[in-house]
Chain A
Amino acid sequence: MATDTSHFEFDPGFTDNRLRVAWYAALAVLLIVGGAAMILRITDGMASTNLTSTTPWGAWVAFYIYFVGLSAGAFLVSTLANVFGVSGMHRVDRDALFAAIISMVVALMFVWVDLGRMDRMFFPFIWRQLTSALSWEVHAYVAYIAVLVTELYFSMRIDLARVAERGSGLRARLSGLLTLGRRSTSEASRTTDRKWLTRAGILGIPLAIFLVHGGTGILFAVSKARPYWNSGLFPVIFIVSAVLSGTALVMMLYVLRTKLFDDEPVDRNLLNRLAVLLAAFIVVDAALTGIEMLIAIASLHPHEVETWAVILFGEMSWSFWWFMVGMGWLFPLVMLSKREWRETPWLMVLAGLSVVIGIIAVRFNIVVPPQILPVMKGLPHGSYFPSAVEWATSIGMIAVGLLLYTIGAELLPLTPLDRGDH
């Protein structure tokens, strides 16, 4: 399927053209549905949601923290390769970084659509509040995206230069632009790249852990009015579940892209390594959540106990048992329990997908339950399930993310040209 008749071959993207058409058609449908819903969202305002003054945060906030988590998790997986030098991980390094950038873009779209006044989205950069976690967060997100883009640049630049030099057509021209003029493919330039990549990664790790995702957890944990969130362990669980979803995403993307885009055999050692990592994170996540629950229930604080009762036995307890426990923890743990299964690509795609969906339930179960119980006895109870507009806009925004990722994966050398063994 080479586009170039010369010795150089660079053609990322779908190897099967029918699959490509089908995928873009599916995305187009989702985008149309999401776009229509977005028009309703803008014309009807927040009345198009099922939110109330008792439950002011819902699906959009849940998806927002979900995608921030996905991004932080994917980024931390990338640092395994380019900061900690874990061998064999370079293959997924760029993919993880690119997915992290797209996740952040999607997360910010969710924040935006959730604002009562979407037209004032830039206000947090004009007026600030030093004591507000949210004020710090928006700045941390911008810094974090800058670090991610810098990292991806240094990780990919040498291959961009190679494609620009030897390739042809749109990809070559785009790659030439993205090198920002640094077109050398020498060993010396690669060393410079790797030095700066490591530096950016070292800056990015505390940024991602403490400010971006820990900070998003802190945003909830500082709400003393909601005892369920008001715990020191909460931001830690936030980070762990972020790393969990990020690892699952990277594992899934690795298999899918290797199979569908690169048409190459999956590196079973690498797959096993990612799978073991994923299993470890699932155990830590489940254990910390258990500890958090035990502390909450042992406190006998009525709000904490009742919130956990809502989660475990309430109207929406199915999302806890089936999605969070079932899809997020149990099913993938079973899939990851045997080495033979861990080296079976399609099973690992399934396990990864299961975790990625399960963590959505984790995020919903973080955001919604403490807003069901009123903050004071005598105030009305909340009841929340997202409206059709909330679901459809969410699907639309996720489709934007998938579209951006696919276009990027079709145009950019996300798989190292030397197959990651540099």
Chain B
Amino acid sequence: MSSSNDDVQPGVPAVETASMDAMVETERADPREELAKTDHDTELGIAMAEDAKRVSQGEISAEAYWEKYDAAAEQEFGDAYRETPNPSIESTDQTIDAGTADSLSCTIGSMESVACEIDAAESVEGGAAPEDRKARWGMVIDLQKCVGCDSCTVACKAENRTPPGVSYNVVMEEEHGEFPNVTRTNVPRPCMQCEEPPCVQVCPVSATYKMDNGVVNIDYDRCIGCRYCMIACPYGARYFDFGENYDDEVEEAGEITSPEYGVDRGKREDGKSPIGNVRKCSFCTHRLERGEEPACVETCVGDARNMGDLNDPDSDVAEMADSTRSFQLKESEGTDPNVYYLK
């Protein structure tokens, strides 16, 4: 500690690297105890973990690692091992190269595809009728936790790269009462992804429709831009893309667009959809599909926003949506939003 006295900054604890490592070491779970809790071989686990460290330090390659443990892993994990691509931290798709995988007669593919398959498998697993267990995405926003910082709005604009005048999420700020008895409520407003969506009902070309996972989709290749859905939406959640850009504020602002609804549309160009179309929050469908939370949920400083499967009665969101604090916006409209608020 004495050696680095010169670097001590006010308010910053003066802790040396060695002592920090020691703190980590005391917190770290004992590998043997952890592995003993599983049905699998402890010694194999320890050996693989030690070599995995060497892979991460660059001492051996991921391919060499898997060649070394191929036989042992098959013996231990059987078909599950053969059917899953072998992870590698060195390549962009996070799996070992195809040649090695082939010689080991293991499945070739990216880790992303593994995540998608697990997701799909989980959503149909369990329950007597698998088709009833489809996920219905829902959001629960705890108004007691919302501080009105608008970071959800900012995160949403950054994630979805929405143009000027389009903001899928806004925070509606309301003041109640008169001085000195004034309170303020912040109500974040994404798209409600209604179960009975008025926007879907009025679209003359069926360009907007409900997906199986509860999200209301917009097909930018079909939308004619009549804006009837904006008239019908009781939440003002829909925005027209007038074709404006942030070119003056940000260089190359339109170089990349967000792969909304999983479709990558490349550069933002005049006369190309979604310009001239109606746009709205998609619960970040493209993030949900790869197992991530929507940007607003991830960024929320007060952890006020929660995302999950409302069809799963054990999920946090389903429990919160059932609580006595729970309500929906404009319940009398009969739209039955999949966004719930906790008062």
Contacts and interface: CB of A to CB of B under 8 A. Distances in A.
A54 B206 contact: no
Contacts of B239: 53
B206 A116 contact: no
Contacts of B173: 378
B238 A224 contact: no
A134 B165 contact: no
B300 to A, nearest CB: 18
Number of contact residues on B: which range applies?
Answer: 35 or more
A225 B234 contact: yes
Given A117-B273, A117-B276, A375-B235, A133 B202 contact: yes
Nearest to B273: A117
B333 A377 contact: no
Contact of A378 (B174, B201, B223, B270): B174
B174, B224, B232 interface centre (most CB from chain A within 10 Å): B224
A44, A53, A137, A138 interface centre (most CB from chain B within 10 Å): A53
B306 interface: no
A234 to B, nearest CB: 14
Contact of B275 (A45, A121, A378): A45
Number of contact residues on A: which range applies?
Answer: 35 or more
A377 B243 contact: no
A138 B198 contact: no
A65 B261 CA distance: 35
Nearest to B270: A45
Interface string B190-209: 00000000101111111100
A132 B202 contact: yes
Contact of A376 (B189, B203, B225, B244): B189
B146 to A, nearest CB: 13
Interface in A42-67: 44-47, 51-54, 56-57
A375 B224 CA distance: 23
Contact of A47 (B170, B187, B206, B243): B243
A225 B198 CA distance: 9
A114 B231 CA distance: 14
Given A45-B271, A120-B225, A374-B236, 7 more contacts: A47-B244, A128-B206, A135-B205, A225-B198, A225-B333, A371-B231, A376-B329
Interface of B: 165-166, 170, 172-174, 187, 189, 198, 200-207, 222-228, 230-236, 238-244, 270-271, 273, 275-278, 329-330, 333
5 contacts: A46-B276, A54-B236, A114-B226, A120-B225, A134-B226
Counting from the closest, the 5 A-B pairs by CB-CB distance are A116-B225, A378-B172, A116-B276, A225-B234, A135-B204
